[in-house]
Amino acid sequence: MRTDTGSIFRLEDYRPSDYAIPRTALTFSLAPEATIVRARLTVERREGVAPGAPLRLDGEKLTLRGIAIDGEALPVSAFTIEEGHLTIARPPAGPRFELLVETEVDPLHNQALMGLYLSNGVYCTQCEAEGFRRITYFLDRPDILSVYSVRIEADETLPVLLSNGNPGESGRLEGGRHFAEWHDPFPKPSYLFALVAGDLGAIRDRFVTHSGKSVELGIHVERGKENRARYAMDALKRSMAWDEAVFGCEYDLDVFNIVAVSDFNIGAMENKGLNIFNDKYVLADEETATDSDFANIEAIIAHEYFHNWTGNRITCRDWFQLCLKEGLTVYRDHQFSADQRSRAVTRIAQVRTLRAHQFPEDQGPLAHPVRPRRYREINNFYTATVYEKGSEVVRMLRTILGAGLFRRGMDLYFKRHDGQAVTIEDFLRVFEDVSGHDLSQFALWYHQAGTPSVTATTSYQPASRELTLEIEQSMAPTPSEPRKRLMHIPLAFGLVGPDGRDLPFGTAAGATVEDGVIHLRKRRHVVTFTGV
């Protein structure tokens, strides 16, 4: 759906599409000003949808060269193209048919750098959030999961031809051209599609997973910059090992490629098996790079790799669920960085970033929930609230449940929803199922904008050895939310004596206190500790 029309899109208006596209086969004949894209789409009508319901595909900046259903070309009268859509009014009434679409695109003059573009001699794609519709007509939405097969044909002056998944056949063609084929066996949304073609250098390595599978690793960069990618390769291998050890997530393809180019309009993109980066987040010269440069490369390499499970294997049902992949994956890369470096120093840096960028956002005119309920343009919601506050919400969930239950919940999340496009409610439900907790109040962290304020005062009675702690929460109004509901705020605490050592206590009353955490659920709690 278009998001630049001035229309407001609302979470409550979400509806599944009438059709699914379980398989997508793409052939690219690359040329600077006239790349031909042939798409063979297996289209299935969803259960409950009336036979012959119109099929409405997204498409922008495309020249249509041909369209056919089950091998028969469609007459012009059978479809319409208007306002960013191609609509087939009366597709076949059967449950499944094959749609062939041939389009022409102009990568050289694609100044938006969305879809397929050519810059500095390298063909590259960027499809999140809605760039795939600039490549071919498609149901360009995150809940359309498809198995992709790709064939790339190009001049031999472009020796590197990459796409998602595992490599297949490759060879020479007539006229000084060659081809390469790729197949990704894991269903993915169109925003994760990727293609790169160019004359690039590379460094290569190998990683053996815990089950003994050998994965070929490649980092492709502009020629002459290969040696500056070695720290990124080391960070990638450490990320893969860490994800196996901490979250049980094993890599699933035979190859993992990174492409780092100077002409990429966002920091990095987690396309399945083919991450694309702006090279400033990959390249580092040991003679000139700072400690911060190395830390940033390590964190961003890890973040995009961790998306393989939290974002790719399990993806978002719709763009309102953006925090489901981004907040969760930021949490994971924060934990990785803490394990690779000083946990305390890393945490201080993370909180400083939160306070410098997200707190002002929450207190300003553009305050919005971690999961927004409406938008005009989805690209405006790649914010500190979605990423950084989204990460902190996951951290609080771990605090509430404890490390053991949190890991069990993540294990169930991966098992239950692998290969699906899901919601925040699906995510929270797995933790309710493994723990027995009611997380409905905690879910307000996803639904309400604003930063809660917590005040605490203490008093001590030496005669009775009782410590009284009064805690109160409040939250200022934000635009569109003048009245706030009470949050579930987990407060990790400790009692510290004059000598700096931990003080034990007997009992605690006035709130739920367990495993070093006070659970603040009401506006005000008076917690009394005895035996202090």
pLDDT at position 265? 83
Q: What's the CA gap between 364 and 362, in Å, rounded?
A: 6
Q: Which residue range is the domain that position 405 belongs to?
A: 315-447
Write down which residue in 447, 476, 502 finishes a domain: 447
What pLDDT band is residue 2 in, cutting at 50, 70 and 90?
very low
Looking at the structure, do residues 231 and 198 belong to the same domain, yes or no? yes
Task: Give the chain's count of helices (H) and strands (E).
Answer: 10, 31
Looking at the structure, do residues 268 and 241 belong to the same domain, yes or no? yes
The arithmetic mean of pLDDT across residues 57-83, rounded, is 97
pLDDT at position 6? 64
Q: Give which of 306, 421, 291, 401 is closest to 346, Cα–Cα.
A: 291
Looking at the structure, do residues 269 and 362 belong to the same domain, yes or no? no
CB contact burial 34-62 (16+ within 10 A = b; e otherwise): ebbbbbbbbbebeeeeeeeeebbbbbbbb
Looking at the structure, do residues 435 and 489 belong to the same domain, yes or no? no
pLDDT digits (tens, 9 = 90+) for 233-289: 999 999 999 999 999 999 999 999 999 999 888 899 999 999 999 999 999 999 999
The arithmetic mean of pLDDT across residues 186-212, rounded, is 98
> For residues 260 and 83, which has the higher predicted lDDT (pLDDT)?
260
Looking at the structure, do residues 345 and 468 belong to the same domain, yes or no? no
Residue 513 lies in a domain: yes
Q: Give which of 138, 75, 279, 99 is closest to 196, Cα–Cα.
A: 279
Looking at the structure, do residues 73 and 200 belong to the same domain, yes or no? yes
Share of the chain above pLDDT 90, in %: 97
User: Quick check: pTM over 0.85?
Assistant: yes
C-beta of residue 256 within 8 angstroms of C-beta of residue 273: yes
Looking at the structure, do residues 281 and 402 belong to the same domain, yes or no? no
Residue 329 vs residues 178, 301, 388, 517: alpha-carbon distances, Å: 38, 12, 10, 25
Instruction: Please say if 128 is a catalytic residue.
Output: no
Looking at the structure, do residues 390 and 327 belong to the same domain, yes or no? yes
Task: Evaluate if residue 1 carries a pLDDT over 70.
Answer: no
Long-range pairs for 8-12 at CB < 8 Å and ≥24 separation?
8/374, 8/375, 8/376, 9/374, 9/375, 9/376, 9/378, 10/373, 10/374, 11/318, 11/320, 11/371, 11/372, 11/373, 11/374, 12/373
pLDDT digits (tens, 9 = 90+) for 15-65: 999 999 999 999 999 999 999 999 999 999 999 999 999 999 999 999 999
C-beta of residue 503 within 8 angstroms of C-beta of residue 438: no
Task: Evaluate if residue 493 carries a pLDDT over 60.
Answer: yes
Indicate which residue of 304, 326, 361, 388 is catalytic: 304
- CA 245, 258, 153 angle in degrees (round to 5)? 135
Q: Give which of 139, 194, 183 is closest to 25, Cα–Cα.
A: 183
Looking at the structure, do residues 502 and 358 belong to the same domain, yes or no? no
Looking at the structure, do residues 242 and 179 belong to the same domain, yes or no? yes
In sequence order, what E strands does 251-382 have? 255-261, 268-269, 274-278, 315-316, 374-375
